[in-house]
Amino acid sequence: MTTLAAGQPRDFYQGDFHDFPVIATDIIYQGAAVGDNGSGYARPLVAGDPFRGFADYEANNAAGAAGDIVVRCRTQGHIKLAITSLAITDVGKDVYASDDNTFTLTQGSNTRIGHVVGWIATGYGLVKFNITRGVLAELTDGSGGTASDTIATIADAPTANAIASLAAKVNSLIRQLGN
Judged against a pLDDT cut of 90, whether residue 27 lies above it is answered with yes
pLDDT-derived band of residue 165, with 50, 70 and 90 as boundaries?
confident
Give every strand in the sheet of 51-55, ordered side by side.
Answer: 17-21, 70-74, 51-55, 33-36, 42-44
pLDDT-derived band of residue 145, with 50, 70 and 90 as boundaries?
confident
Q: Rg of the chain's alpha carbons, rounded to an integer? A: 18
Instruction: Read off the pLDDT of each residue in 33-53 and give the average, rounded to a whole number.
Output: 96
Judged against a pLDDT cut of 80, whether residue 140 lies above it is answered with no
Q: CA–CA distance from 137 to each of 5, 21, 70 (Å)?
A: 28, 20, 23
Mean pLDDT of the chain: 88
Instruction: Read off the pLDDT of each residue in 30-53 and give the average, rounded to a whole number.
Output: 96
- The enclosing H or E element of 177 equals helix 156-178
Phi, psi of 93 (to 5 degrees): -80, 150
Give the predicted TM-score (pTM) of the model.
0.75
Instruction: Read off the pLDDT of each residue in 67-96 and give the average, rounded to a whole number.
Output: 96
CB neighbourhood size of 22 (10 A) = 28
Q: What angle do CA 86, 91, 92 make, to 5 degrees?
A: 125
57-80 per-residue burial string, b: 16 or more CB within 10 A, e: under 16: eebebeeeebeeeebbbbbbbbbb
